[in-house]
Amino acid sequence: MTFSYDQGNDDDVSRIRFRLNDVVDGVGVRPNGTNFTDEELEDLIVFEGSWQRALAAAFETLSSAWRLHPTYQADGVTISNSHIPRGYADEAKKWRDLYGYPATDYGKTAGIVAVEPTKIDGFYYEYNGITET
């Protein structure tokens, strides 16, 4: 598992790291302080189809991870982290609104426009030529 970031580099992984503020090896943005690996970010880019949508997916991943750590209590002191997952979710939504979702067989085309299913009969629907119940 590798980590790379070069502020002057214009590669997709560095673009994502910059916007996530995941730029220092060993001081990551995840709740346990780890970084995204280059391989994880590259996989997101491949799956999502662009670095912008991969960034949205990374924000979604962070939102989900931070939801597991909402509140800490010790000796009568409470620290709430509920704003962290909400902030990441807001960032994900902003990037999804701008760049959409990855294309799938289930109604997303070009990652942006949803295609409504066509009802074939009482039990089956068709999504872009794919029939399912």
User: What does the alpha-carbon distance between residue 119 and residue 131 come to, in Å, rounded to a whole number?
Assistant: 10
Q: Are residues 61 and 115 in the same domain?
A: no
Q: Are residues 85 and 133 in the same domain?
A: no
Q: Are residues 96 and 113 in the same domain?
A: no
Q: Are residues 54 and 112 in the same domain?
A: no
Q: Are residues 45 and 85 in the same domain?
A: yes
Q: Are residues 25 and 58 in the same domain?
A: yes
Residue 3 has pLDDT above 50, yes or no: yes
pTM of the shown model: 0.73
User: What does the alpha-carbon distance between residue 118 and residue 109 come to, in Å, rounded to a whole number?
Assistant: 15
Q: Could you tell me the two tokens for 112?
A: 């942006």
Q: Are residues 112 and 75 in the same domain?
A: no
Q: Are residues 65 and 75 in the same domain?
A: yes
Task: Find the domain containing 38 and state its range.
Answer: 1-101
Residue 40 has pLDDT above 80, yes or no: yes
Taking only the tens place, the pLDDT of each residue in 60-102 is 999 999 988 767 788 888 888 888 999 999 999 999 999 998 8
Task: Give the pLDDT confidence score for residue 131 in this predicted structure.
Answer: 45
Residue 39 has pLDDT above 80, yes or no: yes
Count of domains observed in the chain: 2
Residue 3, C-beta contacts closer than 8 angstroms, at least 6 positions apart: 25, 35, 37, 38
Backbone angles phi, psi at 80, to 5 degrees: -100, 130
Q: Are residues 69 and 45 in the same domain?
A: yes
Check: CB of residue 17 under 8 Å from CB of residue 5. yes
Residue 2 has pLDDT above 70, yes or no: yes
Q: Are residues 81 and 16 in the same domain?
A: yes
Packing angle of the helix pair 51-67, 12-20 (nearest 10 deg) = 40
Q: Are residues 58 and 89 in the same domain?
A: yes
Higher pLDDT among residues 33 and 115, named by residue? 33
Q: Are residues 31 and 48 in the same domain?
A: yes
Q: What is the dihedral of CA 54, 59, 60, 62, to 10 degrees?
A: 130
Question: Quick one: average pLDDT of 101-107?
Answer: 60
